Amino acid sequence: MFKRIGGIFWALLFLAVPVLGVATFAISPFYDHWLPKDVSTHGAAIDSLFYFILVLTGVVFVVTEFLLFWFMWKYDRNNQEGHATYIQGSHTLEVVWTIIPAATLVFLAIYQMNAWADVKMRRPSMAPTVEVIARQFEWRLRYPGRDGTLGTADDLFVVNDLHLPVDEDVLIQLKSMDVLHSFFLPNLRIKQDAVPGMKIPVWFKAREVGQFDIVCAELCGWGHYKMKGRVTFESRPEFESWLERKYAEQQATQPPAEADVAAE
């Protein structure tokens, strides 16, 4: 028994991996160290896929790590007499543990396509609600203004303070002026790189009013960490009155020469 202490110690150390691993994932949600609140309509599909993969990989993780522990415990040299068993492999086992994971992975691949298509491929047919132009190190926002068309003289410009209507499809046209950035809304499960020279559509629908973070998630230079914006979801009337207020502010602060251009 004394000779076995080494083997037992190492086996238990490896057993700690699945035990503490699962414990970490089980405890974290109770300390708010978990997926942030989701207020989007598509986020539930993403989160449930996350949980599905978590359970699937969790089971594989626990089983394989436990087998590793068990083999270390049982087949410790000091725990047995004679030679090891001479086994070169097993055709049946190879086939089984190739086909089962293959089928699971193919299922997983097909199962998730729809969620991806909803977020990235099935773009709603509508004019952009707002154009987001990323720039070192701020989010420039451009609303179409009263005429509903982007790129005209009555466009409204705002920085870092994105307001959007709740319970409505929103289409963002994402651009970058200089380097790569990434438009990341953790609470809406939205992320899209902004690429110089490209106009990339981003769409979603918020279910709740509230204010949330806009994070830059692609390295964009020394000020990357402070490229922070806020998104506010509010009811349609509130959103429109905010637009009006901002528009009035813009008119009031614009220098006369540009105001003339705007009037044309």
End-to-end CA separation in angstroms for the chain: 94
In the complex, minimum distance from the CB of residue 146 to another protein, in angstroms, rounded to a whole number: 27
Q: Does 67 bind another protein (CB under 8 A)?
A: yes
Residue (108 or 153) nearer to another protein, CB: 108
In the complex, minimum distance from the CB of residue 154 to another protein, in angstroms, rounded to a whole number: 23
- Which of 221, 240, 248, 251 contacts another protein by CB under 8 A? 221
SS3 90: coil
Neighbours of 27 (CB within 10 A): 11
The position carrying tokens 């979801």 is 233
Q: Does 159 bind another protein (CB under 8 A)?
A: no
Measured in whole angstroms, the distance separating CA 136 from the mean position of its chain's CA atoms is 22
246 vs 152: CA distance, rounded Å: 17
Q: Does 222 bind another protein (CB under 8 A)?
A: yes
> How many Cα atoms sit within 13 Å of 53 on the Cβ side?
11
In the complex, minimum distance from the CB of residue 56 to another protein, in angstroms, rounded to a whole number: 8
In the complex, minimum distance from the CB of residue 52 to another protein, in angstroms, rounded to a whole number: 9
Q: How many residues contact another protein, by CB under 8 A?
A: 97
Q: Does 119 bind another protein (CB under 8 A)?
A: yes
Q: Does 126 bind another protein (CB under 8 A)?
A: no
Build a one-symbol-per-residue string for 5-34: x at contacts with another protein by CB under 8 A, - elsewhere: -xx--x--xx--x--xx--xx--x---xxx
DSSP 177-224: SSS-EEEEEGGGTEEEEE-BT--EEEEEEBSS-EEEEEEE-S--STTG
Q: Does 98 bind another protein (CB under 8 A)?
A: yes
Mention every residue, 6+ apart, whose C-beta is less than 8 A from residue 137. Answer: 216, 220, 221, 223, 224, 226, 227
Q: Does 178 bind another protein (CB under 8 A)?
A: yes
- Which of 2, 30, 87, 261 contacts another protein by CB under 8 A? 87
Residue (47 or 168) nearer to another protein, CB: 47
Q: Does 53 bind another protein (CB under 8 A)?
A: yes
DSSP 109-163: HHHHHHHHIIIII---SS--SEEEEEETTEEEEEE-TTTT-TTSTT-EEEESEEE
In the complex, minimum distance from the CB of residue 69 to another protein, in angstroms, rounded to a whole number: 9
In the complex, minimum distance from the CB of residue 232 to another protein, in angstroms, rounded to a whole number: 13
- Which of 35, 150, 259, 262 contacts another protein by CB under 8 A? 35
Neighbours of 22 (CB within 10 A): 14
Contact 169, 207 (CB under 8 A): no
- Which of 3, 80, 159, 235 contacts another protein by CB under 8 A? 80
Q: Does 57 bind another protein (CB under 8 A)?
A: yes
In the complex, minimum distance from the CB of residue 235 to another protein, in angstroms, rounded to a whole number: 22
218 vs 62: CA distance, rounded Å: 34
Q: Does 151 bind another protein (CB under 8 A)?
A: no
